[in-house]
Amino acid sequence: MNTTLLSRPILPFLALVTAAVVPLQAQTTSASGVAAVVRTLTLSQQLAGATLPTYGGVNTSSLDAASLPGLLSASALNSTTTGMLDVQDVSAQTTSELGSLQILNGLISAQQVLAVASSYANGATAGSDAVGSQLVGLVVAGQSISSMPAPNTRISLPGVGYVVLNEQTVTGNGSTASGITVNMIHVVLQNALTGLKTGEIILGSAKSAVSL
């Protein structure tokens, strides 16, 4: 009797919830951005990092300026993520940016760095891109780089390591899932003798990923 009394109001509710939730279980949306990441043997810092809430919305983080002596100085750091989980259309976008930056006492400098990551899935297709990303006034080891480097352009920094410009990693199957990670400047610090990685500096990092 108790079971009957309890089940009457609950069962329809459970059925409704189950029916509603099942189609959504495979859906995901995720996005995050961080204007600067600095990791060395003695230091680990993320500056102006923002992560999209699980079910979507908007999140942003800003810093007027940042200074890590000998490693990084920059201004106007900002990361913004947006997106939403939905039955028909899932999307996520991230922008991550900073300006007036100097890395490793001026070994690398730029006037503006912007990473844009955008992903969508609509039931028919899924895709991601970094369109809109840009590097303005970039100088690497005294060499000015005026045009946008091709994805995953690697430049050696003798005695320091190397830098990857416009680093892009794409994931997904193009139909139900897609994601992208964009790191506009990724400096890998290496031991000059052994070549072992001793740290990294990432500027303008944006991620977005969705599945439907």
Partner 1 sequence: MHRSLQSALLPGALVLLLGAVACNADEQPLGPGAVDPGTVMPGGKPGGGGGEEASDRMTGGGKLGEDRDFATFGFQVRPGQGELEWQQHCLDGVTSTPTCTFGGFSFHGSTITSYTTNPDDPAHCRTWTGSGEVKLRDPALAAQYDGTYTYRVDKACDYGEPGHDTDYMSFTLASYHREARLTGGNIQLHAEQKNGQHTIAMEVITP
Residue 45 burial class via C-beta count within 10 angstroms: exposed 0-12, middle 13-18, buried 19 and up: middle
CA distance 11 to 14: 5
Residues 117-146 that bind partner 1 (CB under 8 A): 118, 120, 122, 125, 127, 129-134, 136-137
Minimum distance, C-beta of residue 17 to partner 1, in the bound complex (Å): 7
Does 73 engage in binding with partner 1 (CB under 8 A)? no
Rounded Cα gap, residues 106 and 39, in angstroms? 18
> Tokens representing 72?
């990084």
Report yes or no: 96 and 87 within 8 Å, Cβ to Cβ. no
- Residue (120 or 201) nearer to partner 1, CB: 120
Stretch that binds partner 1, among 15-23, 38-46, 165-173, 188-196 (CB under 8 A): 15-23
Residue 20's beta-bridge partner residues?
Answer: none
Judge contact between 182 and 117, C-beta under 8 A: yes
Stretch that binds partner 1, among 66-74, 108-116, 164-172, 183-191 (CB under 8 A): 108-116
- Least distance (Å) between residue 76 CB and partner 1: 7
Separation of alpha carbons 188 and 34, rounded Å: 17
Please identify which residue in 116, 138, 177, 189 interacts with partner 1, judged by CB under 8 A.
116
Span 34-63, contacts to partner 1 by CB under 8 A: 54-58, 60, 62
3-state secondary structure of 193: coil
> To the nearest whole angstrom, how small is the minimum distance from the Cβ of residue 2 to partner 1?
21
Contact 62, 77 (CB under 8 A): yes
Residues that bind partner 1 (CB under 8 A): 13, 17, 20-21, 24, 27, 54-58, 60, 62, 76, 78, 80-89, 91, 93-95, 97, 99, 111-112, 114, 116, 118, 120, 122, 125, 127, 129-134, 136-137
